[in-house]
Amino acid sequence: MSTTFQDDKPVTASLLIMGYEVVIGFETHAQLSTQSKIFSRAPTAFGAEPNTQACAVDLALPGTLPVMNKGAVERAIEFGLAVGSHIAERSIFARKNYFYPDLPKGYQISQFEIPVVQGGAVEFYLGDEKKSVRLVRAHLEEDAGKSLHEDFIGQTGIDLNRAGTPLLEIVTEPDMRSSAEAVAYAKELHKIVTWIGICDGNMQEGSFRCDANVSVRKPGAGFGTRREIKNLNSFKFMQQAIDYEIRWQIEELADGRAIQQATVLFNPDTGETRAMRTKEDAADYRYFPDPDLPPLVIAPEWVERVRREMTELPRLMAQRFVRDYGLSDYDANTLTQNREVAAYFEAATQTCGQPKLVGNWIMGEISRRLKLLEADISACPITPAQLAQLVGRIQDGTISNNAARQVLDVLWSEPQGTVDAIIEAKGLKQMSDTGALESIVDTVLAANPKNVAEFRAGNTKALNALVGQIMKGSQGKANPQQVNALLLQKLA
Ligand code: ADP
Ligand code: MG
């Protein structure tokens, strides 16, 4: 394990809570979307009858041997490539020994000293500030079974179906400085693993579980003692749990008590975290290389093949949007938050050739409407082709932005309509007849000598009043740019 450094960056006052700086590092267990277990051919499907999906290998019964699932390794490689990590050519599986009812074999096969994925970083925006959280490692391991507390009979049962399900444990440096940053990191990580398809991301079913390590310190001091909040399986609880934990630690310190390193659980009903056990050290687990598994050897050719076959990564897609479509970094990032949105954007852009306008309409009007419905882009009633038509009509001056919003409203409830037919039916066309427009301008100028005089005297605001009158005279159908140009010409 390498040294953990802190950034050479001053802490901004806004991040301090009662004079303390927050430090957060994450450990995330992403369940890999393989069909079978990490070391056996038993199925991994969720929700089967208890104890119907664990085989002798998953339980390490005498005489069995684990065999590495190639699909799990490929997914680990894909992840490493997605976050710019080093893929170890040779990594080692180790036994992590502990005793718990849901782990009858007495040890978990994991990776300790030499993990398969090393380094890398997750980059994301927090508001409009770009953040980068460094990864220490990501290692392959098997999941344990599950205790089922059958309160109605006062007994606890063990379901071993999950035993041996492949996990990728992704560990960050303690780089995060607020609960908001931690949640943004977790969301970005979730986006990456689901985008590349190595994990289904279902947090309720436990496919993506985060442990948040939280500590506080006075600015400039060394790292404080951390407590680890286990198994956060919703972004909402994550934020609540971390915020509670920060407040709790600061109050303890303020009262003159020291923080004990501990593992804690968040209770969503009380909104509190509570210590589950004092923290084990690595030594408690008596790690040693698993004698049943040879080193995992990954030749560079294998990595290259996976790289070639991988879908375009969100990070690279965002860079391409900047390069090919001239989008800002921020817009490109927003439009690649999700694969469907990115595909929608590209389809519309390729039809009308107006990336900036298309992007603005998706991020503005369309996403606003979807948010009200709590729906995502797959529920958008307007097709990319229709958006392209709409943008085309704004671009060629047929309709104003305002009129386009009205067209969008109609299309939203009658998606079989066409943009041109709606413009026609609602009479939304901008005035393109310069003769008619000129006569309105002349009338307005003649009727408002005061404004004209003021403008000529250098009061540029007087122009707005005139534009307003003309727009009114044209019932909103004049093209504001054209009006402006015409006015300046007449007043020159
Ligand atoms: P372990 O494996 O025993 O939990 P690690 O040293 O691997 O311990 O750290 C686990 C996680 O805790 C990492 O994500 C790391 O960034 C984070 N971490 C380490 N020290 C601190 C600290 N003082 N405050 C907050 N997080 C920390
Ligand atoms: Mg830990």
476 domain-assigned: yes
Whether 113 is covered by a domain: the verdict is yes
Specify whether 116 is located in the same domain as 236. Answer: yes
> Given ligand 1 and candidates 1, 171, 176, which is best to mutate, with the most ligand atoms within 8 Å of its CB?
171
| 117 found inside a domain | yes
Strand 296-297 versus strand 86-87 pairing type: unpaired
pLDDT in tens, 8-47: 766 665 678 889 999 999 999 999 999 999 999 999 998 8
Which region, left, alpha or beta, applies to residue 164 given φ > 0 means left and ψ of -120 to 50 means alpha?
left
pLDDT higher than 80, residue 386: yes
Q: Which of left, alpha, beta for 95 (phi over 0: left; psi -120 to 50: alpha)?
A: beta
Same domain flag for 146 and 202: yes
Is 34:72 a contact under the CB 8 Å cutoff? yes
Any idea what the Cα angle at residue 60 is, between residues 54 and 62, rounded to 5°? Answer: 125
Mean pLDDT of 189-208: 95
* pLDDT 10s digits, 105-149: 999 999 999 999 999 999 998 988 999 999 999 999 999 999 988
Instruction: Work out which ligand 1 atom sits closest to the CA atom of 280.
Output: 3
Same domain? For 284 and 337 the reply is no
The answer to whether residues 110 and 94 touch, using CB atoms and an 8 Å cutoff, is yes
The reply to whether 198 and 78 lie within a common domain is: yes
- Within a domain: residue 153? yes
The three-state secondary structure class of 263 is strand
Q: Is the dihedral of CA 382, 384, 389, 390 positive or negative?
A: positive
Is 111 a pocket residue for ligand 1 (Cβ < 6 Å)? no
Domain boundary among 379, 405, 426: 426
* Cα–Cα distance for residue pair 418/91, rounded to 1 Å: 58
pTM: 0.80
C-alpha span between 304 and 123 (Å, rounded): 23
Q: Let me know if residue 11 belongs to a domain.
A: no
List the one residue out of 86, 107, 113 whose CA is nearest residue 1. Answer: 113
User: Domain tally for the chain?
Assistant: 3
Residues in the chain: 492
Contact indicator for 88, 117 with CB cutoff of 8 Å: yes
Indicate whether 190 and 41 sit together in one domain: yes
pLDDT given at position 484: 85
Same domain assignment for residues 123 and 171: yes
* Same-domain check for residues 258 and 399: no
Check if 172 has its Cβ closer than 6 Å to any atom of ligand 1.
yes
For residues 258 and 319, state if they share a domain: no
Statement to judge: residues 139 and 275 lie in one domain: yes
List strand residue ranges (DSSP E) for 257-406, in order: 262-267, 272-278, 288-289, 296-297
Ligand nearest to the CA of 217: 1
Which ligand is located closest to the Cα atom of residue 213? 1
User: Domain of 368?
Assistant: 312-426
Q: How far is the CA of 6 from the centre of ligand 1 (A)?
A: 13
pLDDT at 353 over 80: yes
Tell me, in angstroms, the distance from the centre of ligand 2 to residue 283's CA.
13
Comparing 15 with 313, the larger pLDDT belongs to 313
